[in-house]
Amino acid sequence: MEDFVEMPSTMWTLLTRARDGSPGELDALLRQYRPPVLAFVRTLVRDPEEAEDITQEVFVTVLQDGILAKADRLKGKFRSLLLAVARHVVSERWRARTALKRGGNQRPLSLDSVASPDDLPLRSMIEAPSPGDVEFDTLWVDNLIRIGMNRLREQSAKEGTSYFDALFAVVNDGAAYAEIAERLGVSVTDVKNYVHQARLKLRRYLLQEIHSYSPSRDAAQAEIDYLLKLLEP
């Protein structure tokens, strides 16, 4: 695959470092992947504060030794793991609340109870998509685009180019090339070039992000093909 780019630190490496207490890696993890998880949790939980708490608990759970070690060895989809854990945490909150109302004292199930990387529950969580995953996956695509646009903005600022400004004006504002040219004080031809270059860079950033959490080139290509289908009208 021509667009494959070897990343200096894979998603699994980032997770391991975050688990081991690296503040920078943990901040990067939350900055990149908290938005889609929170948005998904909000579709299940009405209370904003509880949704925030659950989202935090999702990442705390993912970073537990047992979960991360097993998930790493299975090399499944990171987004599938996040989705499975999010559903698990929401389910256990509901189970505990229901048990409390009934006066029960049931011990909730725990992801830590998975004994080995060969256990079906964890493998199913990571590898087996379900029809309900589409909603979360759509949020995942939106977040990947957000990450890519943020990288484009940072790189454009560093290089002193107008690539980000031009593409953002087209995509976000729906501005015509002539209007953008007037804003930037350049020709329409320049704007067309800026937008073209911006799209090429954005595509590269998105591919890099997908490869960073995919265990192989084949898995990355399968992920790209799947996510592209979500963008089809």
Contact criterion met (CB below 8 Å) for 194 and 166: yes
Measuring CA to CA, which residue among 147, 146, 137, 142 is closest to residue 223?
137
The rounded distance, in Å, linking the Cα atoms of 170 and 206 is 19
Residue 157 pLDDT: 96
What pLDDT, on a 0 to 100 scale, did the predictor assign at position 113? 41
In this predicted structure, what is the pLDDT of residue 88?
83
**Averaged pLDDT, groups of 10, the chain, 233 residues long:** 43 76 80 90 89 90 72 64 85 74 49 40 50 77 93 96 96 95 96 97 93 82 87 70
**HSE on the CB side for 12, CA within 13 Å?**
16
Q: Which of 20, 32, 15 is nearest to 81 (CA)?
A: 15
Q: What is the DSSP letter of 112?
A: G
- Tokens 């953008």 belong to 180
| Confidence (pLDDT) at 123 | 53
Q: Which position has the token pair 């007037």?
A: 182
Q: Identify the architecture of domain 139-230 in CATH.
A: Orthogonal Bundle (1.10)
pLDDT at 176: 96
Q: Between helices 217-230 and 188-213, what is the axis angle to 10°?
A: 130
- Per-domain residue ranges for the chain? 11-128, 139-230
Tell me if 133 sits within 8 A of 78, measured CB to CB. Answer: no
pTM of the model: 0.76
pLDDT at 150 (0 to 100): 94
